[in-house]
């Protein structure tokens, strides 16, 4: 049981970080399908720069930088240039997955994966028995993830920016009449989102592990996307959903070890996707208007 909980925290932390990233984009009315791509560029850049400089902090800084640039490009394409949000988002994901796999070959002259010596600091380590196993050897990012979620909640709920974001997402016309430029607010939301994806990717590559593997996100960006929907576009809800999916993943890993014959891992892995279909269906029935940020979404599809 302790082992499952420990694995849950490790699996959930990147999901929660990227889900929080997704919440910011969704609140701005952007259906961000590029999360997966930004997550893997974050994971790769952290390893590549961290390994080259020997400093994990510089690696993360570089990852945030790369993701800020990519997010700004995404904003430029879907905003001022009027490209389709969903297709461009999926394109961004392909650019991330293909680009990092390609860069792996071009820079490190290898296919598959690279190992690195840099790793995130781990405040508590070396506990091997009892309940302490759960929190032992977690990276610093796992520890600060709850703080990031809380901060996101405060920003969205209590700050001027959060209100503007809500206005832009739900009714850009009123935002504009209040003197807010929806386009700029969307850019800000996407930049925050990109930075958080970088952290999520970094946790994946140098938090629990010490390597970068081609396609290592393995759909986690989409699961995080799902967690946003499942968590009703709320940072706390999305974090809980991320935690739950991390738990499902942990059970899947355990079942692979213990009870493969009875519960095939694939069925455990399906849980988030099946639940999401139910969640969007029921969510659509219950709160058709309030949280769907439909107006903002519609405006982005046909900008003025």
The footprint of other proteins (CB under 8 A) covers 31, 33, 37, 74, 77, 81-84, 86-88, 90-107, 111, 214, 219, 222, 226, 229, 264, 266-267, 269-270, 273-274, 276-277, 280-281, 284-285, 288, 294, 298, 301-302
CB of 302 or CB of 304, closer to other proteins: 302
CB of 133 to other proteins, least distance (A): 30
CB of 179 to other proteins, least distance (A): 27
CB of 101 to other proteins, least distance (A): 3
Is the CB of residue 172 less than 8 Å from the CB of residue 165? no
CB of 97 or CB of 138, closer to other proteins: 97
CB of 172 to other proteins, least distance (A): 14
CB of 101 or CB of 163, closer to other proteins: 101
CB atoms within 10 A of CB 154: 12
CB of 268 to other proteins, least distance (A): 10
Contacts of 145 (CB under 8 A, 6+ apart): 13, 16, 17, 203, 239
CB of 1 or CB of 109, closer to other proteins: 109
User: What are residue 211's phi and psi, to 5 degrees?
Assistant: -155, 165
CB of 198 or CB of 226, closer to other proteins: 226
CB of 147 or CB of 285, closer to other proteins: 285
CA-CA distances (angstroms) from residue 37 to 40, 66, 194, 216? 5, 12, 10, 11
CB of 12 or CB of 77, closer to other proteins: 77
CB of 112 to other proteins, least distance (A): 11
Task: Quote the CA–CA distance of 162 and 23 in Å, as a whole number.
Answer: 11
Q: Minimal CA–CA distance to 212: which of 116, 109, 294?
A: 116
CB of 248 to other proteins, least distance (A): 13
Q: Minimal CA–CA distance to 231: which of 1, 64, 68, 27?
A: 27
Point out which residues pair with 113 in neighbouring strands: 213
CB of 250 to other proteins, least distance (A): 17
CB of 127 or CB of 277, closer to other proteins: 277
């Amino acid at each position: 049981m302790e082992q499952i909980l420990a694995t849950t925290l490790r699996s959930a932390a990147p999901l929660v970080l990227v889900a929080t990233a997704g919440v910011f984009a969704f609140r701005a009315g952007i259906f961000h399908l590029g999360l997966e791509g930004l997550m893997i560029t974050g994971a790769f850049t952290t390893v590549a720069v961290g390994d080259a400089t020997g400093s994990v902090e510089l690696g993360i800084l570089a990852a945030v930088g790369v993701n800020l640039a990519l997010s700004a490009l995404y904003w430029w394409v879907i905003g001022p240039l009027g490209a389709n949000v969903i297709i461009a988002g999926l394109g961004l994901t392909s650019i991330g997955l293909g680009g990092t796999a390609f860069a792996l070959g071009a820079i490190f002259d290898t296919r598959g994966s690279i190992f690195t010596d840099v790793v995130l600091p781990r405040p508590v380590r070396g506990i091997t028995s009892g309940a302490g196993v759960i929190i032992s050897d977690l990276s610093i990012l796992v520890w600060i993830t709850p703080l990031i979620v809380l901060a996101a909640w405060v920003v969205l709920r209590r700050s001027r920016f959060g209100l503007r974001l809500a206005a832009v997402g739900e009714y850009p016309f009123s935002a504009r009449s209040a003197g807010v430029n929806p386009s700029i607010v969307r850019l800000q939301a996407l930049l925050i989102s990109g930075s958080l994806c970088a952290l999520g990717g970094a946790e994946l590559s140098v938090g629990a592990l010490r390597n970068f593997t081609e396609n290592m996100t393995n759909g986690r960006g989409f699961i995080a996307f799902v967690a946003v929907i499942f968590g009703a576009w709320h940072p706390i809800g999305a974090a809980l959903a991320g935690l739950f999916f991390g738990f499902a993943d942990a059970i899947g890993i355990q079942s692979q070890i213990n009870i493969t014959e009875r519960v095939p891992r694939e069925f455990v892995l399906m849980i988030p996707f099946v639940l999401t279909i139910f969640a969007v269906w029921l969510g659509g029935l219950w709160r058709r208007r309030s949280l769907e940020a439909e107006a903002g979404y519609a405006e982005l599809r046909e900008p003025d």
